[in-house]
Amino acid sequence: MSSDWRMCRGQEDVVLVEEEMRRTIEYGFWYSGEWVQRGTQWAGTVEKELEEGLVAYAADIGCKDDNEGPPDYEDEDDDELLE
Protein backbone atom coordinates (compact mmCIF):
# COMPACT_ATOMS: atom_id res chain seq x y z
CA MET A 1 0.00 0.00 0.00
CA SER A 2 2.66 2.54 0.96
CA SER A 3 4.83 1.59 -2.03
CA ASP A 4 1.91 2.37 -4.35
CA TRP A 5 1.51 5.73 -2.65
CA ARG A 6 5.22 6.48 -3.04
CA MET A 7 5.07 5.56 -6.72
CA CYS A 8 2.11 7.89 -7.31
CA ARG A 9 3.83 10.63 -5.35
CA GLY A 10 6.98 10.21 -7.43
CA GLN A 11 5.01 10.44 -10.66
CA GLU A 12 3.24 13.54 -9.39
CA ASP A 13 6.60 15.13 -8.57
CA VAL A 14 7.84 14.43 -12.10
CA VAL A 15 4.77 16.11 -13.59
CA LEU A 16 5.21 19.13 -11.31
CA VAL A 17 8.90 19.53 -12.13
CA GLU A 18 8.19 19.28 -15.85
CA GLU A 19 5.54 22.01 -15.51
CA GLU A 20 7.98 24.21 -13.59
CA MET A 21 10.59 23.73 -16.31
CA ARG A 22 8.05 24.61 -19.01
CA ARG A 23 7.02 27.78 -17.17
CA THR A 24 10.64 28.81 -16.63
CA ILE A 25 11.39 28.48 -20.34
CA GLU A 26 8.22 30.38 -21.24
CA TYR A 27 9.21 33.17 -18.83
CA GLY A 28 12.65 33.39 -20.42
CA PHE A 29 11.12 33.90 -23.85
CA TRP A 30 8.66 36.46 -22.48
CA TYR A 31 11.43 38.36 -20.68
CA SER A 32 13.56 38.37 -23.81
CA GLY A 33 10.65 39.75 -25.81
CA GLU A 34 10.12 42.49 -23.25
CA TRP A 35 13.71 43.69 -23.71
CA VAL A 36 13.43 43.55 -27.49
CA GLN A 37 10.34 45.77 -27.19
CA ARG A 38 12.06 48.15 -24.75
CA GLY A 39 14.78 48.79 -27.31
CA THR A 40 12.37 50.83 -29.41
CA GLN A 41 10.67 52.71 -26.56
CA TRP A 42 13.50 55.17 -25.93
CA ALA A 43 13.50 56.70 -29.40
CA GLY A 44 13.36 60.50 -29.09
CA THR A 45 13.01 60.54 -25.31
CA VAL A 46 16.69 60.58 -24.29
CA GLU A 47 19.97 61.91 -25.69
CA LYS A 48 21.26 60.21 -28.84
CA GLU A 49 24.30 58.62 -27.16
CA LEU A 50 22.24 57.28 -24.28
CA GLU A 51 19.61 55.97 -26.67
CA GLU A 52 22.26 54.06 -28.64
CA GLY A 53 23.55 52.46 -25.45
CA LEU A 54 20.09 51.55 -24.19
CA VAL A 55 19.13 50.05 -27.54
CA ALA A 56 22.36 48.03 -27.65
CA TYR A 57 21.81 46.82 -24.08
CA ALA A 58 18.21 45.85 -24.82
CA ALA A 59 19.31 44.00 -27.95
CA ASP A 60 21.96 42.11 -25.98
CA ILE A 61 19.61 41.15 -23.15
CA GLY A 62 16.74 40.32 -25.49
CA CYS A 63 18.71 38.47 -28.14
CA LYS A 64 16.66 35.73 -29.72
CA ASP A 65 15.63 34.53 -33.13
CA ASP A 66 12.24 35.79 -34.22
CA ASN A 67 11.47 32.38 -35.68
CA GLU A 68 12.15 30.63 -32.43
CA GLY A 69 9.66 30.32 -29.62
CA PRO A 70 9.06 28.20 -26.60
CA PRO A 71 9.12 24.48 -27.29
CA ASP A 72 5.80 22.73 -27.82
CA TYR A 73 5.32 20.27 -24.97
CA GLU A 74 1.97 19.00 -26.22
CA ASP A 75 3.61 16.45 -28.52
CA GLU A 76 5.49 14.58 -25.81
CA ASP A 77 4.41 11.01 -25.14
CA ASP A 78 4.44 11.20 -21.35
CA ASP A 79 0.67 11.01 -20.83
CA GLU A 80 1.09 7.72 -19.00
CA LEU A 81 2.46 9.70 -16.04
CA LEU A 82 -0.90 11.40 -15.63
CA GLU A 83 -2.85 8.17 -15.39
Q: Domain residue spans in the chain?
A: 2-65
DSSP structure string for 43-73:
TTTS-HHHHHHHHHHHHHHT---TT-----G
For range 21-27, the mean pLDDT? 91
Tell me the CA distances in angstroms from 34 to 2, 49, 53, 59, 80, one per residue in order: 47, 22, 17, 10, 36
For range 7-32, the mean pLDDT? 87
Is the whole-model pTM more than 0.75? no
Average confidence score pLDDT of the chain = 76
For range 27-42, the mean pLDDT? 82
| Residues 25, 28, 29, 30, CA torsion sign | positive
Q: Do residues 81 and 15 lie in contact, with contact meaning Cβ atoms separated by under 8 Å?
A: yes
Q: Residue 36: its pLDDT value, please?
A: 79
